[in-house]
Amino acid sequence: MLDIIQLLPDSIANQIAAGEVVQRPASVVKELLENSIDAGAKTIQLIVREAGKTLIQVIDEGLGMSETDARMCFERHATSKIRTSEDLFKIRTMGFRGEAMASIAAVAQVEMRTRRETDELGILIKMEASEVKMREAVATEKGTSIQVKNLFYNVPARRNFLKSNPVEMRHVLDEFQRVSLSNPNIMFTLHHNDSEIYNLPAGKLSRRIVDLFGKNYREQLASCEEETSFVSVRGYVGKPEYSKKTRGEQFFFANNRYIKNGYLNHAVMSAFEGLIPEGTHPFYVLFIEIDPIHIDINVHPTKTEIKFDDERTVYAIVQAAVRKAMSQHNLTPSLDFETDVNYTNNIFNFGNSPFQTKKESADAFNNGGASTYARPEVPVRERANLTNWNKLYEGLGRSTDDFDKKDISQSNFDFGKDFEPTTVKSKANDITENRFQRVRQDSESTTFQIHNQYIISQVKSGMLLIDQRAAYERILYEKFSQYLQKHNGASQQLLFPTTVRLTPADFHLVVEIQDEICNLGFILSVTGHDTFIVNGIPADSPEENEQAMIEGILEQFKHNEANLHLDKAENVARSMAKRSAGRFGNHNLTILEMNMLVEQLFASTNPSYTPSGESTMKIVSLEEMAGLFLR
């Protein structure tokens, strides 16, 4: 019987390895940028075309390679980073397996030019599907330039699985942000389709954060630093009020390597406990410096998951570092033990000084204005100001009935015997009438609103309790879904168009979902690589700044994208409904508006739940109400 086990050719083995290392264009960007960093480069250029599908080029002025090294770097398991097995436990470089270049060359057309500073000529190598097509000496700049063209050209199935250009570009931007954040001492530039996306000069970490995410991050950064003999933590955390619904802007680096670690993320979240709303996530960029012997980074092909030999200690130190930063920057609420909250002063007591307590005010009223309680001496100028304030409130303590009973004949003015007074009615004269009329209307109605958040309506079986925000979300979702299906969202033209500038990642997300949001009623025109003009918004949008509205929708879209598997149209409809419901869902409604809300809710396809599965209503039966009173 013939033997059936055979050794695979290198080209096939490399393609198999590429399936783990090279998943999309962003994977190539990550590997090439990390190689440039390991080469000691201080300036790195990234050039991308068609989101990396057509071209990915990385240019650095690092050490460069000899002709032999240039050829060897495309072999599997060929690396300059380690020599023995012990080296795996003291890794300081980004790469160490020797798989990246071989994997990339197996699924793309690669052209590399490299030269060392001591060499007069460099070397040019062209490879296709792991085969060397050209190798010759050329004149080139010091350092290395690698072009990766037509990714997955020889693996059509893998190329077909790539997403649209805006989606793939977002992944490229994510990898670029992580690498540039971990190396603020290196200058980075990024060009996409001949447009400059980023130009990041070398500098401090705080400058790099602002350059990447925007100027508004200047006011929300709080430095974080903690030094121990085992591990040190440094970086920045965001102020609680700037927390977002998405996890995207949370970065952990271990020895300058970006890592994903849910356990350490929990340490940061626990430090923010009670300071941020539930379901939101703070911004942070934290660097952990630890002896490589205490970690294992050879866990996953992407090297973003690592293991600590004493994870609990690292958890405690990270948590303590964040809490310390919060307290040092006064981001946590403080207690004033000198103040008795049970005896606070009233700023405005009708007819009394704002320095008086309620007891003093009562005594002053009973004693004809003279208080029996000693008060601080008030300067003459302040006493004059207080007198003027008190005059504003003179007479407000009297009821409206006093004005109705006033005898006009006691007036000091004599207009003559033929004079007949004329009374002109207005809303100001009608305070009492309107007040009792409103009470009568409310008493006759069976629908009420509580704290501008909940609507109560009487039903046969008991009481119907409706969550106002959730009801709006269900109603708006169905309306927006129809707009998306019929492409007929009504628009409201802006008198003055608004220019909106976003981060490159958010801008590419807008480009990705531009058709969907325009079907809702937005009118957008792109003017730059990160800027567009809003000429119109949906006709029934709440009053809000256009920039904040767009950013809010994008945040909700990213949150849904990270937690749910939805198509673009469904995600946009949910995001817009969630965002708008939050603005509409805390308003004072009239009886007519409440009744219309209830009718529209029950006219929807699923009135009991929001699109995300939250309950919109609850019926409390008479039996349940009786149970509350132990009947």
pLDDT bracket for residue 301 (50, 70, 90): low
Compute CA distances 71 → 106, 151, 274, whole Å: 14, 20, 57
Query: How large is the angle between the packed helices 165-182 and 25-38, nearest 10 degrees?
Result: 20
Helix (H, G, I), strand (E, B) or coil at 595: helix
pLDDT at 44: 97
pTM exceeds 0.75 for this model = no
User: How does pLDDT run across 97-126, given as a tens digit for each residue?
Assistant: 678 898 899 999 999 999 999 999 999 999
Could you tell me how far CA 358 lies from the centroid of its own chain? 46
pLDDT bracket for residue 280 (50, 70, 90): confident
Phi/psi for 415 (5° steps) reads -100, 0
Residues in a beta bridge with 111: 126, 147
* Distance from C-alpha of 110 to C-alpha of 614, rounded to nearest angstrom: 51
Structural domains in the chain, sorted by start: 10-200 (3.30.565.10), 212-328 (3.30.230.10), 347-367+381-397 (no CATH), 462-618 (3.30.1370.100)
473, 607 Cβ separation under 8 angstroms = no
Q: Is residue 455 scored above 80 in pLDDT?
A: yes
In sign, the C-alpha dihedral spanning 210, 211, 213, 215 is positive
H/E/C letters for each residue in 118-165?
CCCCEEEEEEECCEEEEEEEECCCCEEEEEEECCCCCCHHHHHCCCCH
User: How does pLDDT run across 25-43, given as a tens digit for each residue?
Assistant: 999 999 999 999 999 999 9
257, 182 Cβ separation under 8 angstroms = yes
Average pLDDT, the chain: 80
- DSSP structural state of residue 349: B
Q: Is residue 138 scored above 90 in pLDDT?
A: yes
User: How does pLDDT run across 315-350, given as a tens digit for each residue?
Assistant: 999 999 999 998 887 766 554 445 444 444 443 343
Instruction: Select the more confidently predicted residue: 394 or 364.
Output: 394
Across residues 547-562, what is the average pLDDT?
85
- Which residues in 398-450 belong to E strands, given as ranges? 447-450
Ordered strands of the 531-538 beta sheet? 491-501, 531-538, 523-526
190, 198 Cβ separation under 8 angstroms = yes
Question: Lowest-confidence range among 61-75, 194-208, 353-367, 373-387?
Answer: 353-367
